[in-house]
Amino acid sequence: MEEHALLFWISMGLMSAMVGGAMRKILATHVSTGPTMAAWLGVTMLVERLSSLGLPAVLALAALGAVCLLVPYWSPPVAPLPTEGRAVFITGCDSGFGKSAAQKLDALGFEVFASVLDLSGEGAQELQRVCSSRLTLIQMDITQAQDIQQALARTKAKLGLRGLWGLVNNAGVCVNFGDAELSLMSNYKGCMEVNFFGTLSVTQTFLPLLRRAKGRIVTVSSPSGEQPFPCLAAYGASKAALNLFINTLRHELEPWGVKVSTILPASFKTGQSSNSEYWELQYKHLLQNLPPALLEEYGEEYMLETKQLFQQHAKMANEDLSPVIDTILDALVSPRPKVRYYAGPGVGLMYFIHSYFPMSLSDRFLQRLFVKKKVLPRALQKHGSNSSDSHNNNNIDKGSPNRTQTSTSYWRTWHIYACNKVKQGTVG
C-alpha cells in the first residue's frame, strides 16, 4: 500500500511539473487557453485514474507524453493567407537571411522592398537579376535616420494608400568576441547601435504603415539575447534589449490588429561569420586596445584560443538557411502566427534544457555547446606567466596607438569597414 502511494505521488509530482511548465508556455504564446486547460485537466484526471489502478508512474507519464505528441495533430490545418497584393519590407538583404527571404517572398508573389547597404554590391545585384520587377531595392543603413526616412518615402510612394503588410527586421551584426571583461566599450556600443537602436528606429518609422494594414512585424533575434552564451556579452545584451522591446510592442499593438513574432535561429553561416579577415581584424584590434594589466591577467594565449574557437564554430554552422526562411514566411502568412519561432536544429532542445533543467546543468550545456575552453586565464594558471610572455605582451602594447582615442573612434572606423564589406547580414 505504501509503495502504491509513493508511486502515485511521484507520478503526480512529475505530472504537475510538466503541466505547470506547459501552461507557462501556453500563456507565453497567446494560444487560446480555455480548450487547452480543459485538455490538460482531462489528462490530469486520466493519469490519476491510471495511478489509482496500480499502474506504474512510468506508464502514466508515458500516456501523458503520448497525448502531448498527438494533440498538435488534432487541430485541422489552416490555409495560409494570400500573398498577392501584400507588401513586405526586409532589412539587411545584402546577404544571409535577408537576401534569401527577399528571393523567397518575391517568388511567392509578395511585393518586396529589400534594403541593402550597397546597391552595387554582389548581393544587391543578384537580387536585381533573379527577382521579379515587383522587388524594389533600397539603399539604407539602419543606423542613419536620414536613410530610414528616405526608405519610408520611397515605400509610401509605391504603396500609395495601401498599408505595409510585413516588416522583417533582419539586419544585425556581431562585432566582437571574448569575455565580457575583455570586450571593448566600442563593441558594446556598436552592437547596440545596429541590433537595438537601428531596429528600433526602423520599426517606429514604419509602424503607421503597418497599423494601416493590420500587418505583421517579424524580428530575427538570437537565443544569446535570453541565455548567457559565453563570450557573447555585447551581442547578447543588444539582442536582450531588442527582445524586450519587441515583446512590449507585441502587447501594445494587439488592439491595432498588428501581430508580432520573434525568430530565434540556431547557428547559421551568415554575414561575416565565416570571414577569417574579419575575425583577424577584431582580434588585432582587441590586443591593441586592452589595458596592459588586463592583457597580462588573461594572457594572449587565452584570447587566441577564443578566436580559434569562434572560427571553428563558424565553420560548423549550418549553410542551409531554409529553417529560418520558412519561419519568416509562416509568420507572414499564417492566420495564427506564433509569438516565438525556434528555427534550426538543436534550438528547441536548448530551450527545453534552459526552461526545465537546473541552472547549473543549463549553464554547463551552453559552455559545452558553444566554446569549449581549455586554456585558463594566465592569472589562474598554476605556474603563472613567464617572463618571455610578459615581454611579448609589452611589445604588443608599445606598438599600439593611443588607447582612448582608438577605442572612441573604433566604431566609426569599423562602420566604414562594414559598409565596404557588406556586414549587415544577420549573425544568428
CA dihedral 299, 423, 144, 251 (to 10 degrees): -90
Cα 69 to the chain's mean position, in Å? 27
Q: Which residues of 206-223 are buried (b: 16+ CB within 10 A; e: fewer)?
A: bbebbebbebbbbbbbbb
Strand partners, 343: 265
In 10 A of CB 251, how many CB atoms?
A: 10
Q: Is 235 a catalytic residue?
A: yes
Alpha-carbon dihedral 408, 411, 413, 418, rounded to 10 degrees: 170
Contact between residue 106 and residue 131 where contact means Cβ atoms under 8 Å apart: yes
CA proximity to 302, closest of 381, 393, 377: 377
Alpha-carbon span 363 to 228, nearest angstrom: 8
Residues 6 or more apart whose Cβ sits within 8 Å of residue 350: 223, 227, 365, 366, 369
Supply the DSSP symbol for 85. T
Write down the catalytic residue from 235, 278, 341, 410. 235
Query: Distance between CA 110 and CA 86 in Å, rounded?
Result: 6
Dihedral over Cα of 78, 62, 323, 206: its sign: positive
**Three-state SS across 372-420?**
CCCCCCHHHCCCCCCHHHHHHHHHHHHCCCCHHHHHHHHHHHHHHHHHH
Query: Distance (Å, rounded) from C-alpha 289 to C-alpha 399?
Result: 11
The position carrying cell 524594389 is: 136
**To 10 degrees, what angle do helices 33-52 and 2-28 make?**
170
C-alpha cell at 316: 560548423
Residues 6 or more apart in contact with residue 124 via CB below 8 angstroms: 93, 94, 114, 116, 118, 137
**Other CB atoms closer than 10 Å to residue 165's CB: what's the count?**
24
Could you tell me the three cell numbers for 139?
539603399
Tell me the catalytic residues: 235
